[in-house]
Amino acid sequence: MDLFITLAIILIIVIIIIVSNIKFVPQANAMVIERLGAYRETWGVGPHVKVPIIDRIAKKVPLKEQVVDFPPQPVITKDNVTMQIDTVVYFQITDPKLYAYGVENPILAIENLTATTLRNVIGDLELDETLTSRETINTKLRATLDEATDPWGIKVNRVELKNIIPPRAIQEAMEKQMKAEREKRESILIAEGHKKSTILDAEGNKEKAILDAEAEKQAAILRAEAEKQAAILRAEATKEATVKEAEGKATAILKIQEATADGLKMIKESEPDEQVIKLKSLEAFTKAADGKATKIIIPSEIQGLAGLAKSVVEVSKDEKSAK
């Protein structure tokens, strides 16, 4: 019975030891294993079993990209201006063994390396170049740090200048300069606005004058066309009136001639005797005189007829007086 209990206890201890030595490496992590103080292997993701007492986990290494924000570092530019610059480094561990045995404190080593590299890069630049060449500085820092950290199993992906803090006097001078630049740009914009406004006004007046001239020209053309049409119509009306008047006169003459011809024809057909002809001649002379002629020569042929007519008139007057 005692033996059975002893074996059971031993079995339980063995199971506990085995279970405690089963290790699971999570995603994006690695474990550096040492055996009897020497590097043995690197465990990747998944379950692993280490030998009790002999093996040990020397270092747990995260493989995800890490970000380290370093405090501001004093640097001096080429034109002897001291400023504060703080940087942000993005790095990733690519070799857990080199990371575990390459350097004692990798983060501190990267910080110091960043500070010295930053001083070297800024020392070759003047103040204005430093403030306007962030991308160039970032590229130089990343290349230098990436090369220097390769033996440590670290890859530097990106380096960013978070803040560039010049001295207070420089900041005030820069603010004044920026204010002057803004006022200058404002004055330029106002002048440009006035200039464009003046140009637009002039162009508007020019276009208005052109349009007024075009309108006056069109009006003059239309008036001339109207006067021309009116003159043409008046001439055509005068022409038509003259033609109508001439046609009327021609028709009247024709009618008179026709009436005269008809009268002569009727006279001819009636065959008047000599006395009637003389009487008609006397009537014609009477109309010719019409009380206006002072002297009338009467042919001898109708003198007797005139005396006869006078006698008839006298007899008529006597009869009227007797009545």
Cβ neighbourhood burial of 176 (10 Å; 0-12, 13-18, 19+): exposed
C-beta separation of 33 from 58 below 8 A: yes
Of the chain, the end-to-end C-alpha distance in Å amounts to 211
pLDDT for residue 294: 53
Query: From residue 187, how far is each of 148, 168, 174, 176, 201 by CA, in Å?
Result: 52, 28, 20, 16, 21
State which of 109, 133, 166 marks the end of a domain.
Answer: 166
**CATH of residue 124:** 3.30.479.30
pLDDT category, 178, cuts 50, 70, 90? confident
**Do 42 and 109 share a domain, yes or no?**
no
Q: What whole-number percentage of the chain has pLDDT above 90? A: 23
pLDDT category, 199, cuts 50, 70, 90? very high
The answer, yes or no, to whether residue 67 has pLDDT greater than 90, is: yes
Domain of residue 301: give its range. 273-322
Largest CA distance in the chain: 214
pLDDT for residue 21: 83
Q: Is residue 202 a part of any domain in this protein?
A: no
Structure token pair of residue 141: 């820092």
pLDDT category, 312, cuts 50, 70, 90? very low
Q: Determine the average pLDDT of the residues in 158-185.
A: 83
For the stretch 219-228, pLDDT in tens is 889 988 888 8
Q: Is residue 142 a part of any domain in this protein?
A: yes
User: Model-level pTM?
Assistant: 0.52
Q: Determine the average pLDDT of the residues in 102-114.
A: 90
Structural domain count, the chain? 3
pLDDT for residue 311: 47
Q: Is residue 288 a part of any domain in this protein?
A: yes
Q: Is residue 51 a part of any domain in this protein?
A: yes
Q: How far apart are CA 265 and CA 259, in angstroms?
A: 10
- Which ranges of the chain does DSSP label H, i.e. alpha helix? 2-20, 96-101, 106-123, 127-132, 134-148, 168-270, 274-289, 303-322
**Do 160 and 81 share a domain, yes or no?**
yes
The answer, yes or no, to whether residue 259 has pLDDT greater than 90, is: no
pLDDT for residue 30: 94
Q: Is residue 189 a part of any domain in this protein?
A: no
**Do 37 and 99 share a domain, yes or no?**
no
Q: Determine the average pLDDT of the residues in 24-43.
A: 91
pLDDT category, 171, cuts 50, 70, 90? confident
List strands edge to edge, sheet with 38-43.
38-43, 29-35, 55-62
**DSSP for residue 94:** S
pLDDT for residue 31: 94
The answer, yes or no, to whether residue 186 has pLDDT greater than 90, is: no
* CA angle, residues 114, 75, 82, in degrees to nearest 5: 165
Q: Is residue 188 a part of any domain in this protein?
A: no
